[in-house]
Amino acid sequence: NAGVTQTPKFRVLKTGQSMTLLCAQDMNHEYMYWYRQDPGMGLRLIHYSVGEGTTAKGEVPDGYNVSRLKKQNFLLGLESAAPSQTSVYFCASRRDRVYEQYFGPGTRLTVT
């Protein structure tokens, strides 16, 4: 099993450009999460999903949209990137009624 994978690993965007980050998991997990990590800080929750076709806002959702069209994939979109969105993005997943979360390797995004 690959676990949780993220695509791409690195990306540089210019202000105003759009992009989509892909998170995929092969563990048949119901719950999926997107976090961001800024320098010198812990991770903060952006959006999450409790199952296919559902999404909900986390602590820092502004400027992001998400979709969960398939159970194994969770997409994070930036419609108009801003320098404040320069960060490392982590995806995680877990099983229903089992609270341990499994994290992907992260995507390092720079917005210039």
Partner 1 sequence: GIQVEQSPPDLILQEGANSTLRCNFSDSVNNLQWFHQNPWGQLINLFYIPSGTKQNGRLSATTVATERYSLLYISSSQTTDSGVYFCAVAPSGGGADGLTFGKGTHLIIQP
Which is nearer to partner 1, 18 or 33 (by Cβ)?
33
Which is nearer to partner 1, 57 or 70 (by Cβ)?
57
| Residue of the chain from 24, 43, 66, 75 that contacts partner 1 (CB under 8 A) | 43
Q: How far is CA 28 from CA 24, 45, 46, 96, in A?
A: 10, 21, 22, 10
| Residue of the chain from 23, 24, 29, 33 that contacts partner 1 (CB under 8 A) | 33
| Residue of the chain from 1, 41, 62, 69 that contacts partner 1 (CB under 8 A) | 41
64 counts as binding partner 1 under rule CB under 8 A: no
- CA 52/CA 60 separation, integer angstroms: 22
Which is nearer to partner 1, 35 or 64 (by Cβ)?
35
* 65 Cβ contact list (under 8 Å, min separation 6): 76, 77, 79
